[in-house]
Structure 1
């Protein structure tokens, strides 16, 4: 995800886009204290600042597995897991501004959320391209690997870094038989 963000989102302060490690602390603090309270600053890979004053209190933060955004103080923050996005559409008009509408699937329900990019409409194409690419990524939780294969790989890693003795490794591997 980090590579995808670095490839598709420019670090472009004039259009409100900031990519780690160059996200200004003021904007990062504004976002994490206002709408992205459950995100740790070191988790944030990119930030869209949708404020007039440049304080980061409205906009979006992009993390490894999700997007958290707030369009204004009058709206509640929204969290969208990338794996839940099923459709994206952007629009731009002088009357309504710029925004990206995402159809999000949560369980049996699909609903729309709107990310307002009117403060910096030039950022729309970059954010839309990122979200379109992210929604096509395979879901890591849907791995075809069986539970046994995952455990076996984890035990191999522990054995190779010296955290697990050879005797304990053999005992654990023999449990399967």
Structure 2
């Protein structure tokens, strides 16, 4: 009888031990699956905050609607005439005036009505490290030939401007303008 009791105690300890091991393994598997799932969810949520090249941002208010999109970012390197040897990136964007009727002041001081215009001073460009880039102080590669465009309803314009790149190895730039609030474009730099 004593031997049977000892065997029962040993057997029950073995069962409890095996069960705990299975629970630990299952718990670890569940934990790993949950971590992987969280990784995918947070990565997806982060990616959803960014617009991609060519994706349209629609802006509208009581003055009407227009569309904005960043088309590309091109690495230009150092310009031969630049004594500061600044690395450069040129951002190209498009504005399409659906029916927006805003106004801007022309270079001569006169007011232009029923238009939309988004120039480089309105666009914030950041590098991989989230540093805000400065615009070049002079036009490069046709920057200023289309800087101030008054776009009437039904018209579209493609514009470009050059920013000083802090790190020539920057893989992506992030571009936005005030109307976009918490959204921005994440654009791969073309080399």
- Return the TM-score normalized by structure 1: 0.24
Higher strand share: 2
Q: Which has the higher contact order (CA 8 A, sep 6+)?
A: 2
Question: Looking at CA atoms only, which structure, 1 or 2, has the larger radius of gyration?
Answer: 2
Higher helix share: 1
